[in-house]
Amino acid sequence: MSNKTRVDMIIETLRDHKGEKLTARELAKLFLERYPVEMTEKMKNPNYANEEELIAQLAAEVGGQRTKRAKEKCKNIKTREKPRPRLYYWDDKPLAITESLDEELHEADELRLSEHDLYPILIEFLNKDMGLYCHRIDEKTSKNSQGAGGNHWLHPDIVAMEPLDKSWDQTVKTCVRFGNDKSVRLWSFEVKKELTRSNVRKCFFQAVSNSSWANFGYLVATGIADGVEPELQMLSSLHGIGILLLDVGDLYNSQILIPAKEKSDIDWVSANRIVDENPDFKNYIKQVGIYHQTGELIPSVWNK
């Protein structure tokens, strides 16, 4: 296998497609065509069940630090930040000062966002792009009946319900509901601004702890520092937590970097522990119960 890096792939692909402006996803698809040896090797990773999941990861990699390094290595690599989506292209001319300033301002805007600012952004993406119905869990509303530190790493930031039977025929819905088969899946999300070498394990195991009850658990970040991805791959393969890269500047260019492994059953004992402490989570479980019983989704209580 050759040692072709993702940075080299970005540079070579854009160079060979002069005159075209490509999205991250379009670049990812071109990688599959241009670098079959590297892509075949990458598909051996058990986290990718199919080609679509590999494309999603490659697109996320393009949208991260690798493009920044490609720009540093080759001044011809440029991005168009606005209007969205972000586009990647090759330019034979020197980088214009105004464009450079625009990119710096865009990055500065992202840095000014707090972790709490990311919650409504993530909820919008999860609902509109992934079809999930979300609740924000505010840990400040908890009773803290266990004393100081008793609720450490107990609350996820965002929880969601995926109604599997939403588009099914009513006959099938009724059969599933009264046959005790699964009509929903429950999701849990822990949100961080950036994952670095110094915080990645702490953030990851916080997500493990907070999401132990759910069918799917995810750690969400707006950025991943150089050298962190292999650690995430290793931890995810062991514990099943997925990684979602949230692009706040181009929301629908956000990508699931590593898919979570599904747990077939909800850990209701762990869920009950959070219900006992937190009214937001209790309301979430209440709405899940209403959907189980009636199939009714009440818009006013979701995605807040």
Same domain, 171 and 293: yes
pLDDT of amino acid 178: 59
Give the residue from 112, 141, 163 where a domain finishes. 112
Is residue 37 over pLDDT 80? Answer: yes
Instruction: Kindly report the pTM of this predicted structure.
Output: 0.66
pLDDT digits (tens, 9 = 90+) for 143-176: 766 655 556 688 899 999 998 876 677 777 666 6
pLDDT digits (tens, 9 = 90+) for 247-277: 887 777 788 889 999 998 999 999 999 999 9
Side chain identity, residue 222:
T
Same domain, 90 and 238: no
- Whether 200 is covered by a domain: the verdict is yes
Same domain, 148 and 287: yes
Is residue 183 over pLDDT 80? Answer: no
pLDDT of amino acid 41: 83
pLDDT digits (tens, 9 = 90+) for 74-95: 989 988 866 556 789 998 875 5
Per the model's pLDDT, the better-predicted residue between 76 and 59 turns out to be: 76
**Parent domain of 127:** 115-301
pLDDT band of residue 98 (cuts 50, 70, 90) is: very low
pLDDT of amino acid 162: 93
Same domain, 143 and 252: yes
Mean pLDDT of all residues belonging to the chain: 83
- Whether 89 is covered by a domain: the verdict is yes
Number of independent structural domains in the chain: 2
- Whether 1 is covered by a domain: the verdict is no
pLDDT band of residue 108 (cuts 50, 70, 90) is: very low
pLDDT of amino acid 43: 83
- Whether 206 is covered by a domain: the verdict is yes
Instruction: Say which CATH number the domain at 61 has.
Output: 1.10.10
pLDDT digits (tens, 9 = 90+) for 206-232: 999 999 999 999 999 998 888 898 999
Q: In angstroms, how far is CA 106 from the centroid of its own chain?
A: 20
pLDDT band of residue 97 (cuts 50, 70, 90) is: very low
Is residue 1 over pLDDT 70? Answer: no
- Whether 156 is covered by a domain: the verdict is yes
